[in-house]
Amino acid sequence: MKVLVVGSGGREHAICWKLAQSPKVSELYCAPGNGGIAQEAQCVDVKATDIDGMVAWAKAHSIDFVVVAPDDPLAMGMVDAMEQSGIPTFGPRKNAAIIEASKAFSKDLMKKYHIPTAQSETFTELQSALSYIEAQGAPIVVKADGLALGKGVVVAATVEEAKQAATEMMADKKFGQSGVTIVIEEFMTGPEITVLAFVDGEHISLMPASQDHKRAYNGNKGPNTGGMGAVSPPPQYTLEIAKQCMEEIFLPTVAALRSEGRPFQGVLYFGLMLTPQGPRVVEYNARFGDPECQVVLSLLDSDLMDIFLACRESTLDKLDIRWKDQAACVVVLASGGYPMDYQKGYPIFGLGDASYSSMVFHAGTRLDEAGRYLTNGGRVLGVTSVAPTLEEAIDLSYCSTEYIHFKDMHLRTDIGHAFS
């Protein structure tokens, strides 16, 4: 099969790496891809959000199957557009991807179907939002309704901070249309866990749980990022909690989307908080997490293409998906300054040596004319290792990172230890 993966980060590198191992995949393309993805797939110069351009390219090159990995094209309806052109595609349609694209929608869904989450109210009018914040007090959480590159959430320690966040979103339109509607939410505490699941509209197949590290600096300090590292499986997520989540969150969510006439096919991301009152949903995403994808797919023994096809054909219940009984860790190497301003274009050294004992997934790199890898994004690389225990996987990743350097490289040194 000729397969096209849409996206350009570490997540897409991991997906391409896994698909390249499938005997079913004869030609692999990635649009737009990056320097490292070019080792696994032919990179295609079409932007991930260019729906018409992507469909036209896929048709012109007789692509048999498309995988849409990032949130923006999913929310914009790329899956619907591919299907209308007769190209089978992995990922939720627009009417199901809304579970990530609108927090107001996802909060309403959880309320209607009694899925445990933080208590919240949705606002379209600033004065009512400000009065609500006054009445509730702090700490309190203010969220832009729409996609905002992971920056649309403010965990406010004071009433003033919360009011300022609401004003910036609603009146100053800091996130454009994404923040015209906001959700104001009760502040929760507890470890955060990610559970990714393959979903075929009806059936659900869980991947091993993982844990992202969203803050930029050690000790979970500093600004939120896309994710500075992840481990799988996280020790706090016990079998008992997993069972409770299955009954109270995972199955009810898939059933709720079906009942609403929005069957979900693709990867459903459950962002959970293990609060003293039990597991609660913090957020849903309609795709693999990045960098969670890198650790989870490293543990997959089965053919990823078979799984994507089963999700499309609603036969996930017939597929025996096998996972390594091991642990994995990814440490992200970022550009100095990320998630704020940073420089690009620095040469990267030591990739070959680091690859002996770890997979180095590329998040933001490009190849120059001389065939050298240069930095080309905030998150640059994800050094990923698999080992019998989590301690060993963490050690292996950190040993491999020692080989790699580029100017102003930044990494957290406490991945896997910050929450214990």
SS3 125: coil
Q: Which residues pair with 399 in a beta bridge?
A: none
Interface residue with ligand AMP among 9, 208, 271, 364 (CB under 6 A) is 271
Residue among 75 and 170 whose Cβ is closer to ligand GLY: 75
Q: Is 292 in the site for ligand GLY (CB under 6 A)?
A: yes
The site partner of 188 among ligand GLY, ligand AMP, none (C-beta below 5 to 8 Å per kind) is: ligand AMP
Minimum CB–partner distance for residue 269 and ligand GLY (Å): 7
The site partner of 289 among ligand GLY, ligand AMP, none (C-beta below 5 to 8 Å per kind) is: ligand GLY
Tell me which residue has tokens 């050094």: 383
Q: Which residues pair with 27 in a beta bridge?
A: 2
Q: Is 212 in the site for ligand GLY (CB under 6 A)?
A: yes
Interface residue with ligand AMP among 12, 100, 192, 290 (CB under 6 A) is 192
Q: How far is CA 101 from CA 78, 136, 200, in A?
A: 14, 26, 20
Q: Give the span between the Cα atoms of 19 and 47, in whole angstroms.
A: 21
**Residues numbered 280-299 forming contacts with ligand AMP, rule: CB under 6 A:** 282-283
The site partner of 290 among ligand AMP, ligand GLY, none (C-beta below 5 to 8 Å per kind) is: ligand GLY
Interface residue with ligand GLY among 40, 145, 290, 303 (CB under 6 A) is 290
Residue among 155 and 246 whose Cβ is closer to ligand AMP: 155
Contact 360, 382 (CB under 8 A): yes
Minimum CB–partner distance for residue 363 and ligand AMP (Å): 19
Which range in 105-113, 186-194, 225-233, 363-371 contacts ligand AMP by CB under 6 A?
A: 186-194
The site partner of 192 among ligand AMP, ligand GLY, none (C-beta below 5 to 8 Å per kind) is: ligand AMP
Q: Is 141 in the site for ligand AMP (CB under 6 A)?
A: yes
Contact 212, 291 (CB under 8 A): yes
The token pair at 143 is 């969220």
Q: What is the DSSP string of 173-203?
A: -TTGGGGTSEEEEE---S-EEEEEEEEESS-
**Residues numbered 313-372 forming contacts with ligand AMP, rule: CB under 6 A:** none
Residue of 410, 364, 84 whose CA lies nearest to 228: 410
Interface residue with ligand AMP among 93, 163, 214, 412 (CB under 6 A) is 214
Contact 29, 3 (CB under 8 A): yes
The site partner of 7 among ligand GLY, ligand AMP, none (C-beta below 5 to 8 Å per kind) is: none
Q: Give the span between the Cα atoms of 63 and 1, in whole angstroms.
A: 8
- Which letter does DSSP use for residue 207 in this model? P
Q: Give the span between the Cα atoms of 101 and 332, in whole angstroms.
A: 26
Interface residue with ligand AMP among 74, 166, 184, 188 (CB under 6 A) is 188
Q: Is 185 in the site for ligand AMP (CB under 6 A)?
A: yes
Backbone angles phi, psi at 371, to 5 degrees: 80, 15
Residue among 66 and 332 whose Cβ is closer to ligand AMP: 332
Taken in order 178, 181, 187, 188, the sign of the CA dihedral is: negative
Q: Pattern 216-255, binding to ligand GLY, x per CB under 6 A? A: ----------xx----------------------------
Minimum CB–partner distance for residue 214 and ligand AMP (Å): 5
The site partner of 234 among ligand GLY, ligand AMP, none (C-beta below 5 to 8 Å per kind) is: none
Interface residue with ligand GLY among 233, 234, 289, 377 (CB under 6 A) is 289
Residue of 167, 157, 166, 234 whose CA lies nearest to 194: 234
Q: What is the DSSP string of 300-357?
A: B-S-HHHHHHHHHHT-GGG----B-SSEEEEEEEEETTTTS------B-B-HHHHTTT
Q: How many CA atoms lie within 13 A of 7 on its CB side?
A: 25
Interacting residues toward ligand AMP by CB under 6 A: 118, 141, 143, 153, 155, 185-188, 192, 214, 271, 282-283
Interacting residues toward ligand GLY by CB under 6 A: 212, 226-227, 285, 289-290, 292
